Structure 1
Amino acid sequence: MRDFFTAGVRSHARLLVPAFAALALASCGGGGGGGSSNTGCPGGFLTCNGSGTDATAQAPKFTLTLVDAGTGAASNNLTSGKPLTVRALLLTAAGAPLANKVVTFTTNNALATFDPASGTRLTDANGYTTITLLAADLSSSGAAEVSATVDVSGTAVTQKVAYSVSPGVVTLSGLAANSTSLSAYGSTSVSVQVYFNGSLSATPLTVNFASGCSSNGKASLTSSVTTVNGVATATYTDKGCAGTDVITATVQGASAQTSIAVAAPKASNIGYVSATPSSIVLAGTGGGGLSSDSVVTFKVVDSTNTPVASKSVSFDLSTRVGGIKLNGQSSGAVQATSDSSGLVSVTVSAGSVPTPVWVTATLVDDPTIKTQSTNLTISTGRPTQDRFSLSVGTFNIEGWNRDGIRTTATVYAFDRLGNPVADGTVVNFISEGAGVDPFCTTKAGGCSVNITSGELRPRVDSEPSSFGVTAGRVTILAYAQGEESFDDANTNNVYDAGETFRDLGDAFVDNNENKTWSSGEREIQFSSSSTAACPAYPSDGRYYNAPYKSGTCDGVWGAAHVRRNIVITLSSFAIGTVTPSVFTMPALPACTGSFTFRLSDVNNNPMPAGAAISAVSGVTYTNDTGETVKATVSIPQGNETVPNTNAPGGTFHTIVVEGSKCTTKPVGSVTINVTSPSGDASARTITIN
């Protein structure tokens, strides 16, 4: 096409040059004397007036035309995929070609672009150049102008030509999968033809593919594909779709759909996943974080261990003792269907009897495929008063003069059958003085908290002891949601009307250790409606440290705060009392005496546990040779340290004064030294007569 057009231009130029020359001569009075090329019309760029003496510059000739880039036919309608060619011809006013001139093309970039993108071209020897005009995109629509500008001898010459832009029409046809029926986890190709303005698109276009299963991870599908010769091909791979999957292809607003029938995978195994929670309590004994129901979950998979959905599973129990239910049914198997993750669940509800129980799961389609859960425990769950105990690591800590001395309080809680309560059962603590952690949660029935010395230190107490008022004694209360104990006469593990039970009133911190609530002692109320009289404490002493406030019982067996009180002492390192302080040796001929004394701290409590006790002899006697000899003073084994105790009045210890061949009784003094666990020492002297 270029050679044809170039030849035409050359021919056109040969015709134009004589014509422009004739016009120039005519305008200068040509055909007669006085007309010449150098009489005011140099280079053909000047137009002479009739006199031949007044010349003005003549602009060069600059023309623009638009043709179809494919056919060369004149056209000013631009469409995506069908570019136009912009032709520019630059001649002098006399018709001579202007070569090697830079022509700059511009247009509305929102509608069209140029190739080359710079928009600049150089005229050839014939004054001719071209540039390609392309639609900006498939949807471009509107009208604009191509503007071409060239500099000729310092003067910018501009020419314009108008064009319109029509959007291309994209259609899709023949969307289909190579295999419309696909086996589980199989793959196939999916192809679609893309037409542009009625013909297969020669321009590469991006086609997007999507499907229902690919959107939720049950299939993989190439999401975008660029056409090759007007065809886009994607790859589809099943990942457990198991059904009809609709595939959609879209490009430039056009769309098409097809479907693939994907076979369901064959279930080959069912496995136990979990029981939540793994331990439940008897029906009617829940609350406080405990449940009487457990959700047991299994998973259906195929031979590749991939989850299989929509499979029916039958469930049954290893035992129904006590009325255990499965999905609310008291008897018979129940069925459920696996979800998209292959998971299938059933609910086990406890009955009235503690027992281990297993859930059996069987695939309905193939009863040979079955499994069972791990052991699910059904217990009473909540602690009963008779089986709720509290202990401390050290009763008498060196806390009267020191802060931060710690001991532990440990609770063990069991149900009415002696089984540990459910893990996570909360036990609360409050104290009369010092500090205590607010709660602990049980594991295997037990849990512990720290008791830490510090203020408040009780300074005036009235504990009922023969040693009078004793300060430094701290009562700790531990309590939990539980139940009143009863005598299960028929051993059915359920309270039946008429069976003996031990009614519990409100728990309290028994500051003065008299087992009776006194004004100022902190009470833990269980129910504001409980105002009945409370029974006497059991005569066997089992509730000696589980007091309840009178007039706060309800007369009905049921839930209650199970509780225990325990007392620790904040003991001083200094000796408060050594009594008696005077002992009398046996009469001669005895030469040895054994004496027991009571040792207490400044508050008449035991000195700190583990404090070391020693004795220094100041006792002398005369032996059979007439010499004055110092008697030996010793502390028998088991008396040389302060024991772990909270006994009011302190602890008892023995010393032995021993001589040999006495002719006089050993007499004098013995110094009792006590060194606390922290290293502080204190001493007292006793007299031996």
Structure 2
Amino acid sequence: MIKGWLRKTIHCTATCLLATALIACGGSGGSGDSDGGGFIGGGQTTDYTLSLKLGDNNDPVELKSGEQTSLTVSLTEGGAAVSGTVISVAASGAQVEPSSLTSNANGEAVFTLTAGDASGAATLTASVEGPSGTVEESVSFNVIGRAPPELGLKLVDLSRQPLAEITPTKKGVLEVTVSGGESAAVAQQVISALTTIGKLIPESGTALTDDTGYTYFIIEADGSDGAGTATASLTVGEQVIEASLNFSISSRLPYRLNVTLLDAQDEALSVVETGETVIVSVLVAHEDSGEPIANQLVSIAAGDLGAVTPTAGTTITDEAGVAQFKLAVSQTTGTFEITISATFAGGSAMERLNVDVIQANRSLGYFDNAGDFVEAVLLINPDKELSPGGSASITLGVVNDAGERVTSEETVTLSSNCLLSGAASIEPSSPVTFVGQTALTYTASGCSGNDTLTATLESTGAEASGVITLSEVIAETIRFEVATPEIIAIRDTGSASDLSESAAVTFQITDIDGNPVSNSRVNFSLGQDIGGIALYCQNDAFCQYSSNSDAVAGRSTRTSDRSDLDGLVTARVLSGFVASPVRIIAYVDLNENGKQDEGEPASSSKSLVITTGLPDQNSVSLSASVLNIEGAYEADGKQAIITVRMADKFNNPVPDGTPATFTTELGSIVGSCLTQAGACSVEWTSQSPRASDTVDRYSAPITIFENIDNDTPSRYRCPSHLEAYGPCPDDIGDETVNPPGAPRGGRSTLLVTAIGEESFIDKNANGRYDEGEYWTNLTEAFVDHNEDNRYTPVQRDNCIDPVAADDVCLAGFEEIFTDYNFNGVFDLNNTPSAAENSSLPDGLFNGVLCQPEDAATGICSRELLSVSDSLVLINSFSNADNFTLMAINSALLEPTALQGGRTYTLYVADVFNNPPSAESTISYQGSGRCDVITPVPTIGDTSRAGAFAVSFAVSTADGEDATAEPDQVSILLTLPSGSQTVRTYSCDVEEPPEPVNCNDPQFSPPPAACQA
């Protein structure tokens, strides 16, 4: 406090006592003027006096740091106030503003004084330039400084829970708090931090405190292990305040990788064999809890152990946390290392497994016709002499020590003297790699005599051999040239599949030098005679027929012909009624006795394939690139790619060039395509028509609002809720769901048809339809507009006159069918009727796999028909105003308000009750004390009739005070176009209890809250 004036007076008087001194004082002893005005009469200088006063009339005892008061400096001369003179003030331990002022009329200058931060004495010094020099005066007072701020330091995790150890998966948060008394500033303070271990973020090591005095640093594991110290510091003036804490870091990841080798039966293996295919199974789990980790990328490195599948060496764990790789073990024995690794947030985990590979026990030989294995012997066919240039089929197989055909790849090297000299060749060339069994073609090209062929198994050294006898007939050889085509159709199906039912198999006869030999008689026979496969032969005694009808048709079991000038001779193979491979055996009949004698050159063709080439009903599949097409109801030109895939009874892709025909209910579609590799595609495009003319004229598509629209029928009823309108997850146009049914809007049925056969269950696996086998009977194909699986104009009653027809009839009134037999009538193909109590359908099986004798007796039919498939496209909207969102509660009603802790079902549909298109999104926005706690749903691509449905749960902050925002939930639908619509529901929230006045006399007895 200030208690009064502090006055210090300094008189500056100079008297010249001596003449020399008078001269030094600026005069010669007289009263003349001087530049400084240093003399006033009698030889005495003017006296300036400075007086300093702090505050108002009180002596200052002490000021607190930052406290302000006034400093008044008075200047007098001989007791009179001096005005207009500049007075300066300097300060130590305090601040004075301004640093100088001009004295006023009272000779005073008033300054503002602010006490400094540091405790201790502060000094103020005022100065003025007087006539005789500088005049100064000082005053001191005591400053009580602020208490220094305090620095708090904690290490917590990202959830702000105390943390003692940092790991790769658990970062540390260094929480720094600046606090201080006496209004010390805590905001926007620069905090410096450093750590002796781990990685500090930010790397600058500095951060500013927020308005509450907090700031944070992140400490991450850096691969090191041990303990360290984190230090934070704050500089205040010249004082540095520090705080430290100790912590530890571990580089250990909390995950484990368990690696197991499994065989094909999922049995664990301790060792593996060369050439074996095994499973490397990796379990990824949490170290402590053992909980599996799904969808984790796992990598494998097998080195020289073998080849890994997938070849990229990576795969993803399943829901059980298991990732599996196939490993084809190499042929090298020894101990190898498998390295398994997985990268997690915070680092990588790795596991190594040593695998011992032992030599596999393998035997080489062949399987005879009974399926028995003949060890160490090669099967050579034909086993007759081969002429130079002739070929033989060499069959060999590999078994394990249990006599079972191996399932892993094996490599075999073949050798013989003729092969070594180049006088014979093997196709494919040696060494050859195969699984279980293979066949090769041995071709002689100048060798004669006996050629011992030896096959050596690379993995074990096992051998098998056989002797090929090469004809000494120097002038003649026969070899297979070509088969055209290599794939032919089952008999009587070629016209439907565009495949030929026969193939020309050509051989060439040459002499020992490879020159063509003409006019040589060559006899042909079938390698296998099943299902009526034949060789064409007529007007030759060599022909051999199974029946008179075969004789008429020239279908023989053998045939003969002579080579032309180029040495070429051809036999024609005729397909039978069974899908099968077939080879042709040919030999040169040197003595023309009609049989193969010893020494006559022989050869075999490559395999031909006989198949139906026709799609069967259950192998026709129609798909679309998009099923729910946004904007197709509103705009032309929206497109979808429609793809059909077709296969035959044996699920082989139909031949290239098989035609498929398309029809659509609405929009337009390219009419046909030709298959490549069993599939082909066309484009569907949105345009008119977009609805049925008949429905528009005599009725209307059912909508979700028609019960509240007086201009539309009232047909709406939703089995899934009790509201009279709105989106419904059920197909409200289906007569079985919402009787009596109604036309649907915005839906287009597409149909694809092809010529094919019905599907059947081949119980005895003979590749043919047999009496009593179950099949699917087909009507003629039709475009099913009303999606009732019936051809409405024929298969529904009272659908002839649209005026009298019901809604379902009207919806299918414009259906069209594929008139396969061009008789102008929709054929049900349901005659004859099935026997009483039979599980078989009415009608007959239709297909080329009906045996001719069964067709002749009426058991089945070889006539073809239309096979088909269909799908529905939704012509959707791009404007979200056409969609409605509705929540339904457990009472199957739309709630007036949502309740916390309850689950609701959200239904979303357009006006026709179709779901929104794929990639549309639904989002929830809570407000006030109400929110949705269910994840955002995904809307898939579907053409299913009915609204999109998803459940959501609501939570409310019951008992809490209301906020400025309303208690409600908004549900937003956003279409891929960006168009949006929203539905908002209020929430019922329990209000906090009213405060109780326990002194209120109306309470008798007092409330429980007042009795505590």
TM-score by length of 2: 0.35
Measured at CA, do residues 375 and 634 of structure 1 come closer, stay the same or move farther in structure 2, by a change above 3 Å? farther
Structure 1 match to 2:506: 297
Structure 2 match to 1:393: 625
Measured at CA, do residues 661 and 339 of structure 1 come closer, stay the same or move farther in structure 2, by a change above 3 Å? farther
Measure, in 2, the Cα distance between the counterparts of 1:680 and 1:341: 74
Q: Does 1:315 align with 2:524?
A: yes
Structure 1 match to 2:814: 520
Measure, in 1, the Cα distance between the counterparts of 2:959 and 2:604: 85
Q: Deviations over 1:426-484 (max 9, x none)?
A: 22111112232322333444433333333332365574264954322111111111123
Structure 2 match to 1:458: 691
Q: Deviations over 1:491-543 (max 9, x none)?
A: 544345565554433211111112222342122112245777655999xxx99
Measure, in 2, the Cα distance between the counterparts of 1:308 and 1:564: 56
Equivalences for residues 358-377 of structure 1 within 5 A: 358-364=583-589, 370-377=602-609
> Match of 1:579, as an amino acid?
M
Q: Does 1:620 align with 2:928?
A: yes
1:595 CA displacement: 2.7
Secondary structure, in 3 states, of the residue corresponding to 1:421?
Answer: coil
Q: Does 1:648 align with 2:945?
A: yes
Measure, in 1, the Cα distance between the counterparts of 2:756 and 2:659: 10
> 559-568 vs 489-498, which deviates more?
489-498
Measure, in 1, the Cα distance between the counterparts of 2:671 and 2:516: 46
Measured at CA, do residues 450 and 664 of structure 1 come closer, stay the same or move farther in structure 2, by a change above 3 Å? farther
Measured at CA, do residues 532 and 369 of structure 1 come closer, stay the same or move farther in structure 2, by a change above 3 Å? same
Q: Deviations over 1:86-116 (max 9, x none)?
A: xxxxxxxxxxxxxxxxxxxxxxxxxxxxxxx
> Match of 2:872, as an amino acid?
V
1:682 CA displacement: 1.8
> Match of 1:600, as an amino acid?
A
Aligned with 1:345 (options 567, 570, 573)? 570
Aligned with 2:559 (options 334, 339, 350)? 334
Measure, in 2, the Cα distance between the counterparts of 1:407 and 1:300: 57
- Structure with the greater alpha carbon radius of gyration: 1
Q: Does 1:510 align with 2:784?
A: yes
Structure 2 match to 1:561: 866
Secondary structure, in 3 states, of the residue corresponding to 1:287?
Answer: helix
Q: Deviations over 1:158-189 (max 9, x none)?
A: xxxxxxxxxxxxxxxxxxxxxxxxxxxxxxxx
Measure, in 1, the Cα distance between the counterparts of 2:917 and 2:827: 43
Q: Deviations over 1:323-362 (max 9, x none)?
A: 2101256565422334445543222112222111122344
Whether contact under 8 Å (2:931, 2:969) holds in the other structure is no
Whether contact under 8 Å (2:924, 2:970) holds in the other structure is yes
Measured at CA, do residues 340 and 669 of structure 1 come closer, stay the same or move farther in structure 2, by a change above 3 Å? farther
Whether contact under 8 Å (2:886, 2:983) holds in the other structure is no
Measure, in 2, the Cα distance between the counterparts of 1:670 and 1:425: 56
Measured at CA, do residues 620 and 559 of structure 1 come closer, stay the same or move farther in structure 2, by a change above 3 Å? same
Whether contact under 8 Å (1:295, 1:345) holds in the other structure is yes
Whether contact under 8 Å (1:615, 1:634) holds in the other structure is no
Structure 1 match to 2:885: 578
Whether contact under 8 Å (2:898, 2:954) holds in the other structure is no
Equivalences for residues 121-520 of structure 1 within 5 A: 270-276=479-485, 278-288=486-496, 289-300=498-509, 309-328=518-537, 332-364=557-589, 370-398=602-630, 399-458=632-691, 461=701, 463-464=733-734, 466=738, 469-486=743-760, 488=762, 491-496=765-770, 501-517=775-791, 518=793, 519-520=813-814
Secondary structure, in 3 states, of the residue corresponding to 1:478?
Answer: strand
Measure, in 1, the Cα distance between the counterparts of 2:687 and 2:871: 18
Measured at CA, do residues 332 and 533 of structure 1 come closer, stay the same or move farther in structure 2, by a change above 3 Å? closer
Aligned with 1:594 (options 888, 903, 906)? 903
Measured at CA, do residues 513 and 320 of structure 1 come closer, stay the same or move farther in structure 2, by a change above 3 Å? same
Whether contact under 8 Å (2:524, 2:560) holds in the other structure is yes
Structure 2 match to 1:680: 978
Gaps in structure 1 of 5+ consecutive residues: 1-264, 544-553, 622-630
Measure, in 1, the Cα distance between the counterparts of 2:475 and 2:523: 17
Secondary structure, in 3 states, of the residue corresponding to 2:654?
Answer: coil
Whether contact under 8 Å (1:636, 1:654) holds in the other structure is no
Measure, in 1, the Cα distance between the counterparts of 2:685 and 2:513: 58
1:661 CA displacement: 6.0
Measure, in 2, the Cα distance between the counterparts of 1:670 and 1:298: 83
Whether contact under 8 Å (1:583, 1:595) holds in the other structure is no
Q: Deviations over 1:7-32 (max 9, x none)?
A: xxxxxxxxxxxxxxxxxxxxxxxxxx
Measure, in 1, the Cα distance between the counterparts of 2:513 and 2:950: 77
> 596-605 vs 649-658, which deviates more?
649-658
Secondary structure, in 3 states, of the residue corresponding to 1:297?
Answer: strand
> 574-583 vs 303-312, which deviates more?
303-312
Measured at CA, do residues 312 and 453 of structure 1 come closer, stay the same or move farther in structure 2, by a change above 3 Å? farther
> Match of 2:912, as an amino acid?
N
Whether contact under 8 Å (1:392, 1:409) holds in the other structure is yes
Secondary structure, in 3 states, of the residue corresponding to 1:527?
Answer: coil
Q: Alpha carbon RMSD of aligned pairs, Å?
A: 3.9
> Match of 2:573, as an amino acid?
V
Measured at CA, do residues 403 and 367 of structure 1 come closer, stay the same or move farther in structure 2, by a change above 3 Å? farther
Whether contact under 8 Å (2:478, 2:507) holds in the other structure is no
Q: Deviations over 1:222-245 (max 9, x none)?
A: xxxxxxxxxxxxxxxxxxxxxxxx
Whether contact under 8 Å (1:583, 1:688) holds in the other structure is no
Measure, in 2, the Cα distance between the counterparts of 1:452 and 1:683: 27
Secondary structure, in 3 states, of the residue corresponding to 1:580?
Answer: strand
Measured at CA, do residues 556 and 687 of structure 1 come closer, stay the same or move farther in structure 2, by a change above 3 Å? same
Secondary structure, in 3 states, of the residue corresponding to 2:885?
Answer: strand
Measured at CA, do residues 531 and 609 of structure 1 come closer, stay the same or move farther in structure 2, by a change above 3 Å? closer
Measure, in 2, the Cα distance between the counterparts of 1:469 and 1:348: 56
Aligned residues: 395
> Match of 1:326, as an amino acid?
L
Measured at CA, do residues 601 and 371 of structure 1 come closer, stay the same or move farther in structure 2, by a change above 3 Å? farther
TM-score by length of 1: 0.50
Gaps in structure 2 of 5+ consecutive residues: 1-473, 538-543, 546-555, 591-597, 696-700, 703-732, 794-812, 835-839, 842-857, 889-893, 988-1012
Structure 1 match to 2:852: none
> Match of 2:985, as an amino acid?
T
Structure 2 match to 1:608: 917
Secondary structure, in 3 states, of the residue corresponding to 1:523?
Answer: coil
> Match of 1:527, as an amino acid?
N
Measured at CA, do residues 359 and 595 of structure 1 come closer, stay the same or move farther in structure 2, by a change above 3 Å? same
> Match of 1:336, as an amino acid?
D
Measured at CA, do residues 470 and 300 of structure 1 come closer, stay the same or move farther in structure 2, by a change above 3 Å? same
> Match of 1:620, as an amino acid?
G
Whether contact under 8 Å (1:503, 1:555) holds in the other structure is no
1:320 CA displacement: 0.9
Measured at CA, do residues 584 and 324 of structure 1 come closer, stay the same or move farther in structure 2, by a change above 3 Å? same
Whether contact under 8 Å (1:267, 1:301) holds in the other structure is yes
